[in-house]
Amino acid sequence: MSVFNFSAKTFFAQPVIATTILLASVAAHADFNHQSWDSLLNKHVTMTNGGKASVVNYAGMKADQSKLTSYLEATSKVSQSEFNRWSKNEQLAFLINVYNAGTVDLVLTKYPNVKSIKDIGGLFGSPWKQEFVSLLGKTRSLDDIEHNLIRGSKRYNDPRIHFAVNCASIGCPALQDDAFTGKRLDSQLEQATSKFLADSSRNSLKGDTLRVSPIFKWYKEDFATNWRGTKDLAGFLGRYSSSLGLSKAQTADLKQGKIKISYTDYNWNLNKK
């Protein structure tokens, strides 16, 4: 029998099978659909001060809480094995979105009777240590997501995450009005960082002292991990000299230690509209 004696059905089945396998592979590595969280942010977050800060309409979020709940239920169904198949950017965008959605969800448990997220923890507790977010097979706290999954894993090594995760406070970098995605993550993190550093109410040069947010004090080690060649806090801040309004001479002085770094106060009041 000739080796070329095969049916047309067999011939045409091969491309179909190959296409099915390809589509399955693409789907396994596709971005998680954050559209429902994105729509909530679009609707209830207002950027202020030229995009350097934002306020949240928590009353509106409360009215749409069923949508927030549905989003968090969807993220809770992602298994560790599925998460592991995603790209690093997709993973990080997912974790940031869940953290931010969880923070809003936590505030809504007490809203409108809450002036600061710190009040939710009570006199002896911490809102960030409460375990209420179902994620990757465990019930987690916000601290667990930020300090273990994001920072502690050492997988992402990106200090710009501090300008993306939001603590529902005025002193915190803005909650963005759109969801983070794997494809846009680098540009989104860059914009959030630049905008925050450009906020002169929280970061500004006064004489020979650069006064910056206490975020840089609390997480100083994260800005000294050789991320894109920045080996210390001064180097990181120097990278964003234009956002800080520094001249070339001032930037050089900063990197040479001739400009002192001090820290402003942090406003823990709720970032409500």
Q: What residues contact residue 256 under an 8 Å CB cut-off, 6+ apart?
A: none
What is the C-alpha to C-alpha distance for residues 131 and 159, in angstroms, rounded to an integer? 25
The number of CA neighbours under 13 Å toward the Cβ of 86 is 22
Residue count of the chain: 273
Contact between residue 106 and residue 132 where contact means Cβ atoms under 8 Å apart: yes
The residue ranges of every structural domain in the chain are 33-197
Q: In what helix (H) or strand (E) does residue 212 lie, and over which residues does it extend?
A: strand 209-212
Helices (H), the chain: 8-28, 35-44, 58-63, 65-76, 80-85, 88-108, 142-143, 185-197, 215-218, 233-239, 241-244, 248-255
| Packing angle, helices 88-108 and 185-197, rounded to 10 | 50
Residue 197 C-alpha from the chain's centroid: 16
pLDDT score recorded for residue 121 = 79
Global confidence as pTM: 0.89
pLDDT score recorded for residue 30 = 53
What is the C-alpha to C-alpha distance for residues 157 and 226, in angstroms, rounded to an integer? 9
First to last CA, the chain: 79
pLDDT score recorded for residue 125 = 82
pLDDT score recorded for residue 25 = 40
What is the C-alpha to C-alpha distance for residues 204 and 212, in angstroms, rounded to an integer? 7
DSSP code at position 147: I
Q: What residues contact residue 213 under an 8 Å CB cut-off, 6+ apart?
A: 171, 196, 202, 203, 263, 264, 266
What is the C-alpha to C-alpha distance for residues 146 and 128, in angstroms, rounded to an integer? 10
DSSP code at position 172: S
pLDDT score recorded for residue 122 = 67
Walking along the chain (273 residues) 10 residues at a time, the average pLDDT comes out as 40 43 42 94 98 98 98 98 97 98 98 96 83 98 98 95 98 98 98 98 96 98 95 97 97 96 97 97
Tell which phi-psi region holds residue 218, choosing left (phi > 0), alpha (psi between -120 and 50) or beta: alpha
Which of 219, 208, 202 lies closest to 266, judged by CA? Answer: 202
Contact between residue 224 and residue 231 where contact means Cβ atoms under 8 Å apart: yes
DSSP code at position 227: B
What is the C-alpha to C-alpha distance for residues 91 and 34, in angstroms, rounded to an integer? 12
